[in-house]
């Protein structure tokens, strides 16, 4: 690979990882907005109280800051996209995923607007959370592919079929859990079960209906995810990279459960609520990396090898 091309490709990859870090911060800031009841602190969109830069109090600062950071993320993606599309050797290889990234970003902006216009409708809040995590995972995936293509992909080991089953179960449970978490937050059901380990001081699952049922399901799926990740960590022992990621996800999930318990017992303190959302995003990213690792190990080829073959020296 030509030295200049390698630096350019690696720089784009690092830029995408940096942008993913900004999106992660945006997800955490969004949690702070929700926890402080600041979702409608700016009651209009795209302006805030009819102004580009309004007078600030804490809630307005949080919501306006959330929007401002989202704008910077859009600008960052534009810069990276221009850098990639200017290189003919990268353009055809990245065009599809850049289009997907822009589709997710535009959808996020529209959901942000709808969240304000529809007065925090639960479906918009939940969809906004899920798409934000998907966008962050896509940026990390793209960034790592570019970095590996410039430096040479690491050796990958195969994984037993039981490991693949555990990974599939963990991935499905994670998506369900994030959907349930978004619904719990958007329906203000965080204290629908006010005790732990029981829901109402008597039963673990007094009902599966209404807000209490939603909260109960969120708890049960969380423990199901923990079990799936524990199984994955065990079955993936022959694949060091996947095993390391599985153990990381397992530890994060243990932390997440502890934060969930603290949320209930502490009656939803703002700091714990924000950490709960940030840890959920970290688990989602780790699971996305596990899926990536398993896919590339299964195909036994360098990520984007076909796409970047033109960059290799002859």
Residue 311 lies in a domain: no
Inter-axis angle of helices 270-299 and 161-186, nearest 10: 150
Which pLDDT score, from 0 to 100, does residue 55 have?
Answer: 96
Token pair 């030295």 is found at 3
C-beta pairs of 49-53 under 8 Å, 24+ apart in sequence: none
Residue 160, classed as helix, strand or coil, is coil
Burial tier of 204 (Cβ tally within 10 Å: 0-12, 13-18, 19+): middle
pLDDT tens string 230-274: 999 999 888 888 999 999 999 999 999 999 999 999 999 999 999
Q: Are 9 and 311 in contact (CB under 8 A)?
A: yes
Single residue among 131, 152, 173 that ends a domain in this structure:
152
pLDDT value of position 155: 54
Specify whether the CB–CB gap between 87 and 2 falls below 8 A.
Answer: no
Q: pTM score > 0.95 for this model?
A: no
Q: List pLDDT tens digits, range 68-98.
A: 999 999 999 999 999 998 888 788 788 999 9
Please report the pLDDT score of residue 6 as a whole number: 46
The alpha-helical segments, DSSP class H, found in 36-155 are 58-85, 88-117, 122-151
Does one domain contain both 118 and 179? no
Residues 217 and 77 in one domain: no
As beta bridge partners, residue 51 has 48
Residues 58 and 28 in one domain: yes
Max Cα distance, the chain (Å): 71
Q: Give me the number of domains the chain comprises.
A: 2
In a domain, 277, yes or no: yes
Cis peptide before 46 (omega within 30 of 0): yes
Is 8 found in the same domain as 39? yes
Residue 307 maps to a domain: no
Label residue 159 by pLDDT band (50, 70, 90). low
**In this structure, are 161 and 148 located in the same domain?**
no
Q: Are residues 191 and 127 in the same domain?
A: no
Which residues are bridge partners to 48 per DSSP? 51
Distances in whole angstroms, Cα of residue 286 to Cα of each of 27, 46, 131, 197 = 15, 33, 16, 27
Q: How confident is the model at residue 61 (pLDDT cuts 50, 70, 90)?
A: very high
Mean pLDDT for 143-158 is: 74
Residue 85 C-alpha from the chain's centroid: 26
Q: What's the pLDDT tens digit per position in 221-237? A: 999 999 999 999 999 88
If asked whether residues 79 and 128 sit together in one domain, one would say yes
Please provide the distance, in angstroms rounded to a whole number, between the alpha carbons at the two ends of the chain: 9
| Domain end point (choices 106, 133, 152) | 152
Residue 303 pLDDT more than 60? no
Q: Are residues 13 and 84 in the same domain?
A: yes
Domain with 227 in it? 154-300
Task: Round the average pLDDT of the chain to a whole number and report it.
Answer: 90
Same domain, 164 and 66: no
Look at residue 97 and tell me if it is in a domain: yes
- Tell whether the model's pLDDT for residue 103 goes beyond 50: yes
Given the structure tokens 């950071």, which residue do they identify?
Answer: 69
Q: What proportion of the chain, given as a percentage, has pLDDT over 90?
A: 78
**What average pLDDT score do residues 187-194 get?**
96
Same domain, 145 and 247: no
Chosen domain end from 117, 152, 187 = 152
pLDDT digits (tens, 9 = 90+) for 4-58: 554 588 899 999 999 999 999 999 999 999 999 999 999 999 999 999 999 999 9
């Amino acid at each position: 690979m030509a030295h200049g091309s390698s630096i350019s490709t690696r720089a784009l990859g690092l830029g995408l990882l940096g942008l993913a870090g900004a999106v992660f911060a945006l997800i955490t800031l969004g949690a702070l907005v929700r926890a402080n009841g600041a979702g409608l602190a700016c009651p209009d969109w795209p302006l805030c109280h009819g102004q580009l830069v309004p007078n600030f109090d804490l809630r307005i600062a949080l919501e306006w800051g959330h929007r401002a950071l989202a704008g910077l993320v859009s600008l960052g993606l534009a810069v990276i996209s221009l850098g990639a599309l200017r290189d003919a050797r990268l353009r055809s290889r990245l065009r599809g995923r850049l289009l997907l990234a822009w589709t997710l970003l535009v959808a996020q902006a529209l959901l942000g607007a709808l969240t304000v216009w529809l007065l925090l409708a639960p479906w918009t809040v939940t969809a906004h959370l899920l798409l934000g995590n998907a966008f962050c995972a896509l940026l990390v995936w793209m960034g790592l592919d570019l970095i590996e293509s410039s430096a040479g992909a690491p050796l990958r080991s195969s994984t037993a079929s039981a490991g693949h089953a555990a990974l599939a179960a963990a991935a499905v449970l994670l998506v369900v859990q994030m959907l349930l978490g978004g619904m719990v937050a958007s329906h203000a059901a965080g204290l629908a079960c006010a005790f732990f380990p029981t829901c109402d001081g008597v039963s673990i699952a007094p009902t599966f209906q209404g807000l209490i049922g939603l909260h109960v399901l969120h708890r049960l799926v969380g423990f199901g995810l923990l079990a799936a990740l524990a199984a994955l960590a065990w079955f993936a022992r022959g694949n060091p990279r996947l095993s390391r990621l599985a153990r990381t996800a397992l530890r994060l999930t243990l932390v997440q459960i502890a934060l969930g318990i603290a949320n209930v017992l502490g009656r939803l303190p703002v700091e714990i609520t924000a950490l709960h959302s940030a840890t959920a995003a970290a688990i989602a990213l780790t699971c996305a990396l596990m899926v990536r690792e398993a896919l590339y190990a299964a195909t036994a080829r360098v990520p984007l090898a076909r796409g970047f073959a033109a960059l290799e020296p002859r």
